[in-house]
């Protein structure tokens, strides 16, 4: 039986999986790499670390394939969205890549809105100008580091940089390109009016392909290094959330998933492009050809719990969750705003700040852990409620990401969202969906629907508890009032804390 490899160039590490033609995962491997924050609100990575991690993960699964006597026939790519990799004419990295959660570009976002027009921007790209997107990062480089900007010959997204090294091709897919703010989402091609308004060169940008479409072949030298066959087709793939949606079968209208990883995502399939006029939730191309999705993002979901664990010097997520499980819903009057690195949906506010509210002498770390998890899900509920207002009414949610492997996270999702929560048997996240797309590119599956027919759901369904859901409905109303009540002070604190212009990374 042939095998398919999926590679996820994630935020905290690379992950590769092998999937057979029945949809079963036969091997998996991961390799971690660091994130750098040279200034508050800045988030960067060295693309060389992605390549190192990708090679390490792919080598391990290639070795597993060789040991089994089976052959890898296709590769699919996915990864963190929105990041900016700046290359010169020799494909050398000019500076560290700016990531999806980098918040330095508020001024550039305002300028983009002014140059393109707020309404036209949403109509063309499906989204307002947000700090995480790629377009404002390009403008920031032009203004803050002009000597680096003068060297730019190519601008790629994270997974597409790895693709370049695997295949030698400059290519991306429509779902990931949607997150640049430079794509005409209806036409699924680069938006000339936006490029012209922002004075960004079209030749810097890669070819846009559909998710299951081949985007190149594995180069002989790279194949030898990895232990794979040369010439294997590499699918265009998808942004991490679109690929995860493929891997959980969110490929039909009305299906919705929730993902808790570093960020948190509510993802809804749509057969048509229908952006939220106010831009509160994203409207992107799907990795399914000709299809779209709505997406709401909480920037610091599992990232909030990781921050909390680090603060407590704890190595055990399970122990923290076990303590939190014993606390009553609502954490005895304690709320948490998970805006540790600003917030995207629905506030679109890079200067939003996190907080515990309602602390008393009775509260301990178990209360705070549970309140933190509840606050993350209240933030995701903001996205789900907007989608409901746009006509998306899910009968259930399919959970993915690290949060899908925690009984407490699953229970909280069912109770806060008020719908049953299920999981796929193969819960490997974006890498699994990428492998399915690689299978289409290799001809192992007819199309994405055929590939997704291999997905099996677990028998267990986490139903909402009506009593707990009623409690959370009351707390959610208070949670919604907390941001508008504190936003002015959060912005003032941010202004005081920001270093003066001309700090690290700023050319004088």
Q: Which of 246-260, 439-453, 488-502 has the highest mean pLDDT?
A: 439-453
- Give the domain CATH number at 15: 3.30.420.40
What's the rounded Cα separation, in Å, for the pair 108 and 120? Answer: 17
In tens, the pLDDT along 144-200 reads: 999 999 999 999 999 999 999 999 999 999 999 999 999 999 999 999 999 999 999
Residue 455 lies in a domain: no
pLDDT of amino acid 391 = 84
Residue 502 lies in a domain: no
Token pair of 204, please?
């810097």
What's the rounded Cα separation, in Å, for the pair 22 and 38? Answer: 45
Identify the domain containing residue 91 by its residue range: 3-249
Residue 359 lies in a domain: yes
Taking residues 87-104, what's their average pLDDT?
Answer: 96
Q: Considering the entire predicted model, what is its pTM? A: 0.87
- pLDDT band of residue 497 (cuts 50, 70, 90) is confident
What's the rounded Cα separation, in Å, for the pair 401 and 259? Answer: 5
Residues 388 and 482 in one domain: yes
**Residue 75 DSSP code:** E
The total of structural domains in the chain comes to: 2
- Got the DSSP string for 119-182? HHHHHHHSS---TTSHHHHHHHHHHH-HHHHTT--EEE-HHHHHHHHHHS--EEEHHHHGGGT-
CA distances from 228 to 61, 66, 161, 260, 272 (A): 10, 9, 19, 32, 38
pLDDT of amino acid 22 = 94
Catalytic-residue membership of 184: no
pLDDT of amino acid 278 = 81
What's the rounded Cα separation, in Å, for the pair 476 and 504? Answer: 40
Residues 180 and 142 in one domain: yes
In tens, the pLDDT along 296-309 reads: 999 999 999 999 99
Residue 464 has pLDDT above 50, yes or no: yes
Residue 459 has pLDDT above 50, yes or no: yes
Residues 351 and 238 in one domain: no
In tens, the pLDDT along 372-414 reads: 999 999 999 999 999 998 888 898 999 988 888 899 999 999 9
Last residue of a domain, one of 193, 224, 249: 249
What's the rounded Cα separation, in Å, for the pair 274 and 177? Answer: 17
Residues 277 and 237 in one domain: no
Catalytic residue among 240, 349, 382, 427: 240
H helix intervals, 199-279: 220-226, 240-247
Residue 131 lies in a domain: yes
Residue 65 has pLDDT above 70, yes or no: yes
What's the rounded Cα separation, in Å, for the pair 187 and 468? Answer: 45
pLDDT mean across residues, the chain = 94
Residue 506 has pLDDT above 70, yes or no: no
Residue 451 lies in a domain: no
Phi, psi values for residue 171, rounded to 5°: -150, 155
In tens, the pLDDT along 251-297 reads: 988 899 999 988 899 999 999 898 888 888 989 999 999 999 999 99
Residue 508 has pLDDT above 50, yes or no: no
Residues 147 and 190 in one domain: yes
- pLDDT band of residue 505 (cuts 50, 70, 90) is very low
Task: Select from 102, 10, 19 the least CA-distant residue to 53.
Answer: 10
What's the rounded Cα separation, in Å, for the pair 347 and 490? Answer: 13
Q: What angle do helix axes 47-68 and 158-167 make, rounded to 10 degrees?
A: 60
In tens, the pLDDT along 333-373 reads: 999 999 998 998 999 888 899 999 999 999 999 999 999 99
């Amino acid at each position: 039986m042939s095998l398919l490899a999926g590679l996820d160039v994630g935020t905290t590490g690379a992950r590769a999986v092998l999937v057979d033609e029945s949809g079963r995962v036969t091997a998996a491997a991961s390799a971690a790499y660091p994130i750098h924050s040279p200034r508050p609100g800045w988030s960067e990575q060295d693309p060389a670390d992605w390549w190192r991690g990708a090679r390490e993960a792919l080598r391990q699964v290639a070795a597993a394939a060789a040991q089994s006597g089976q052959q890898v026939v296709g590769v699919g790519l996915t990864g963190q969205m929105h990041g900016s990799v700046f290359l010169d004419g020799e494909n050398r990295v000019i500076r560290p890549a700016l990531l999806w959660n980098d918040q330095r570009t508020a001024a550039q976002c305002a300028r983009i809105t002014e140059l393109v027009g707020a309404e036209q921007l949403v109509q063309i790209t499906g989204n307002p100008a947000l700090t995480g997107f790629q377009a404002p990062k390009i403008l920031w480089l032009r203004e803050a580091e002009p000597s680096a900007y003068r060297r730019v010959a190519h601008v790629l997204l994270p997974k597409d940089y790895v693709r370049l090294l695997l295949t030698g091709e400059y290519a991306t897919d429509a779902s990931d390109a949607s997150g640049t703010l430079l794509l005409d989402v209806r036409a699924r091609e680069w938006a000339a009016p936006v490029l012209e308004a922002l004075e960004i060169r079209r030749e810097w940008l890669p070819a846009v392909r559909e998710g299951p479409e081949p985007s190149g072949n594995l180069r002989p030298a790279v194949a030898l290094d990895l232990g794979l066959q040369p010439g294997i087709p590499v699918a265009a793939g998808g942004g991490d959330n679109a690929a995860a949606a493929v891997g959980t079968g969110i490929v039909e209208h009305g299906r919705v998933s929730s993902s808790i990883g570093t960020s948190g995502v509510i993802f809804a399939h749509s057969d048509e492009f229908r952006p939220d006029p106010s831009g509160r939730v994203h409207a992107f191309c799907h990795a399914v050809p000709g299809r779209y999705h709505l997406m709401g993002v909480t920037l610091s979901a599992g990232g909030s719990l990781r921050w909390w664990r680090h603060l407590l010097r704890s190595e055990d997520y399970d122990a923290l969750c076990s303590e939190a499980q014993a606390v009553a819903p609502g954490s005895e009057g304690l709320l948490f705003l998970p805006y540790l690195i600003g917030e995207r949906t629905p506030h679109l506010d890079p200067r939003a700040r996190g907080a515990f509210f309602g602390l008393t002498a009775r509260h301990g770390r178990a209360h705070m852990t549970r309140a933190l998890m509840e606050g993350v899900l209240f933030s995701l509920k903001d996205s789900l409620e907007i989608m409901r207002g746009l006509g998306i009414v899910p009968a259930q949610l399919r959970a993915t990401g690290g949060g899908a492997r925690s009984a407490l996270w699953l229970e909280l999702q069912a109770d806060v969202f008020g719908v049953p929560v299920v999981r796929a048997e193969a819960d490997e996240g974006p890498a699994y969906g990428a492998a399915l797309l690689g299978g289409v590119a290799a001809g192992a599956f007819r199309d994405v629907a055929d590939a997704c027919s291999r997905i099996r759901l677990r028998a267990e369904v986490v139903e909402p508890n009506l009593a707990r859901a009623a409690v959370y409905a009351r707390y959610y109303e208070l949670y919604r009032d907390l941001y508008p009540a504190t936003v002015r002070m959060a912005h003032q604190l941010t202004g005081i804390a920001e270093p003066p212009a001309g700090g690290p990374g700023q050319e004088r």
